[in-house]
Amino acid sequence: AQSVTQPDIHITVSEGASLELRCNYSYGATPYLFWYVQSPGQGLQLLLKYFSGDTLVQGIKGFEAEFKRSQSSFNLRKPSVHWSDAAEYFCAVEGGSNYKLTFGKGTLLTVNP
Amino acid sequence: EAGVAQSPRYKIIEKRQSVAFWCNPISGHATLYWYQQILGQGPKLLIQFQNNGVVDDSQLPKDRFSAERLKGVDSTLKIQPAKLEDSAVYLCASSSSGRARDEQFFGPGTRLTVL
C-alpha cells in the first residue's frame, strides 16, 4: 500500500524568504504525485502534479516541485514567500486499482511579516 | 464553472445523535469522493462512487456511516449514531472520470463537532 510522509508539521518563514516543504512517498510502481494547499475554512486546491517526464514541475502561485526517484521525494519549493501563502500543504500519491489518493499529514506554513 | 458544493458548513451534535451531509459535485463529473479529515491529519478516503455505484468503501465504518448517490449526481453521507471520534471535517470531491491522473476538485467541507 502507498504512503506519504511529511516530516515537518509546522514551518515558519519570513515574507520574502525561500521555502521548501518536504515529502517522501512509498509506492511500488511509478508514482503519480500531487501537492495541494488548504487555506482556513477552504477545501483543497491543487498546486501541481507529477506524472512522468521532466522531474521539475511548475505549478500555480509560483510553486515548483522536484521529483527524485532515488530519494523517494517530491519536495515543494517557492523562491520568495508571500503572506498569502500561509496555509496547510498536503502531499499525496495516487495508486491502486481505483487510483486512490493517499495524503500525508500536512505541513502548516506560517509567514511572518 | 461552479465548484463542488457542500452543506451544511458547520454542524454541532451530541454523541449518539444522527447527522447528514450533502454534496453536489461539478456538473458532468462521474466520480464522487467523501473524505474524513481529522484535525492534524490529511484527508482519508471514506467512499468513492463511480456514477451511482460504489467503487471503494473499504475505509467506511459501515456500522455507523452510510452514503448514497442517487441518480449519479449529488450525494449524502450519514452518521448514525455519532461518536466523539467522528469530530472532523468531511470533504467531498469530484473528478470527471476517476481514472488515473484525473484531477479531484474539492468542496469547502463540513466541520462536524460531536459533544
Mean pLDDT value of segment A91-111 = 91
Partners of A17 in the beta sheet? none
Distance CA B111, CA B99 (A): 29
pLDDT category of residue A27 using cuts at 50, 70 and 90: confident
Is the CB of residue A20 less than 8 Å from the CB of residue A6?
no
The more confident residue out of B102 and A12 is: A12
Per DSSP, chain B holds a count of helices (H) and strands (E) of: 0, 11
Q: Flag if A43 and B4 touch (Cβ within 8 Å).
A: yes
Q: Flag if B106 and A90 touch (Cβ within 8 Å).
A: no
Q: Flag if A41 and B91 touch (Cβ within 8 Å).
A: no
Tens digits of residue pLDDT in A52-95: 888 999 999 999 999 999 999 999 999 999 999 999 999 999 98
pLDDT category of residue A97 using cuts at 50, 70 and 90: confident
Q: For residue B1, is pLDDT > 70?
A: no
Q: Flag if B108 and A32 touch (Cβ within 8 Å).
A: no
Q: Give A10's contacts in chain B (Cβ within 8 Å).
A: none
Q: Exposure pattern of B75-94 as b/e (b: 16+ CB <10 Å)?
A: bebebeebeeebbbbbbbbb
Please give the pLDDT value at position A65: 98
The helix/strand/coil state of B31 is: strand
Distance CA A96, CA A79 (A): 34
CA of B49: which chain A residue's CA is closest?
A98
> B43 CB contacts (<8 Å, ≥6 apart)?
A44, A90, A101, A103, B35, B36, B37, B91
Tens digits of residue pLDDT in B33-76: 999 999 989 999 999 999 989 999 999 999 999 999 988 899 99
Is A101 in CB contact (< 8 Å) with chain B?
Answer: yes
Q: Exposure pattern of B33-62 as b/e (b: 16+ CB <10 Å)?
A: bbbbbeeeebbbbbbbbbeeeebbbeebee
State the smallest CA–CA distance between residue B56 and chain A in angstroms: 7
Average model confidence (pLDDT) across chain A: 93
